[in-house]
Structure 1
């Protein structure tokens, strides 16, 4: 008589068989860093104290570990650590290649200044999405105007590294609404407005790789600001019938602009 195998044993064996059959050799994503250096050479000496600290103390990288280095001009190279010490590291570089993930469309986000933590979140997420430039603007209903631009630029760099960008997007100094209008008026501008009669974005938009999108403050644009934008030839558009928080609108508008689905 055949011996009955306990159900627990069958289940265990099935799990082992499935795990044995699965291929776990997924390529590990390499840590990514921007460096101000010529990456077309065969090797590179790193002396930046902050970067060395991150490599040796935080990530605990060792010889033969690999990293992705980017020059900030949408070119990158895989680097293999040959040596790493407290004051320098030597990296062997593979061939230089374009950063395929960097978006082709050049989107600038003109965004009303919000509370500091909300604006920092916008910077992080919109750069992960693919925005090239973020311009903080002071509008009639802007309440908070104190931004730490150096901190925003650090957030921008880290978000660009994390998301695989080929450039470090620019964070401009804050400017007032009228100055921003003058700066952008000769480009294609999508001015997102919460009014019920705001129309969907005109389709098709003028064929251009350059596009500016505008996000207002929590209280919305004033009628005067909407009229000023209209007078300058801006496209007044809506993100839908629901009322969105400014940071939500910034992310959705940025994504649609970068992906060309306005």
Structure 2
């Protein structure tokens, strides 16, 4: 039986007692059917991952005792995922996959052809937390409230932004990867694609590069996975002095 992982907002240190959120207590007790004395893993990006024990559980309240540290905190490259508003299930799936692929911030954006309003921030943040617990990363991406695309672009800090431009002359995404460094971001449009005026506005921004994912037209969530996968691998395997990307093996915790 696998040992559940729980993300804790509190500071973690051996011997500390930490309270579970109502959602965590419900999940452990009702869904996973754990009882006091069960082994857990407690983690956050600041302190790392620790052995833990479930010490109390009643309805939607619970507590854990923190044991020895298993993994030190690590610095993650800043990779932002900008996702045009999708329907509820597709948006949840996209947030889950963006979390698994290492996105550190998820920014729902509203475009002219959006079929949905970007989803409730609290729900999407819960999905991101659950995905982080499952995929063994130490951090949980920040999920921003949905905002109009032009407002996000107007407030942008200049980090390179690659845009999946399916119907516009653009360079293959792979051509941008050798010089890619964090912070950086990837944007996918809505199910109906960007309007021409939106692509024109994007192309004028000095920090934007229009990128092609190949000859086929992909669903928005498929394009997100394709782009983030390539960018995440590139950031996790930076080139050495010769320009060759060194192999990297992430040890799996025992």
**Does TM-score exceed 0.5, indicating one fold?**
yes
- Secondary structure at 2:231's aligned position in 1? helix
Among 2, 6, 13, the alignment partner of 1:40 is 13
In structure 2, the partner of 1:114 is 86
Q: Map 1:90-101 to 2 at 5 A.
A: 90-95=64-69, 97-99=71-73
Task: Pick one of 95, 98, 105 that aligns with 1:123.
Answer: 95
Q: Secondary structure at the match of 1:94?
A: strand
Secondary structure of the residue aligned to 2:69 is coil
Map of 1:16 onto structure 2: none
SS at match of 1:73: coil
> What TM-score, normalized to structure 2?
0.80
Q: 1:143 to 1:44 in 2, by over 3 A?
A: same
Instruction: For residues 154-204 of structure 1, give each alpha carbon's deviation from its aligned partner in whole angstroms, at most 9, with x where no partner exists.
Output: 111111111112112111111112112123361111011012632213445
Query: 1:225 corresponds to which residue?
Result: 198
* Larger mean Cα displacement after TM superposition, 141-150 or 120-129: 141-150
1:199–1:238 Cα contact (<8 Å) kept: yes
Residue 6 of structure 1 corresponds to none
Unpaired segments of 5 or more residues in structure 1? 1-27
Distance 1:36 1:169 in 2: 13
Per-residue CA shift, 1:8-45, capped at 9, x if unaligned?
A: xxxxxxxxxxxxxxxxxxxx642100112221232424
Aligned residue among 157, 161, 185 for 1:212: 185
The correspondence for 1:79, drawn from 24, 40, 52, is 52
Q: Does residue 238 of structure 1 match 2:219?
A: no
Does the 8 Å CA contact 1:74/1:167 hold for their aligned counterparts?
no
Number of equivalent positions: 231
Cα RMSD over matched residues? Answer: 2.5
1:5 corresponds to:
none
Residue in 2 aligned with 1:259? 233
1:62 & 1:75 partners in 2: Cα distance? Answer: 24
**Over 6 Å off, 4+ runs:** none
Q: Is the 8 A contact 2:108 2:118 kept in 1?
A: no
User: TM-score w.r.t. structure 1 length?
Assistant: 0.78
Q: Any conservation in 1 of the 2:6–2:133 contact (CA below 8 Å)?
A: yes
Residue 151 of structure 1 pairs with residue 123 of structure 2: yes
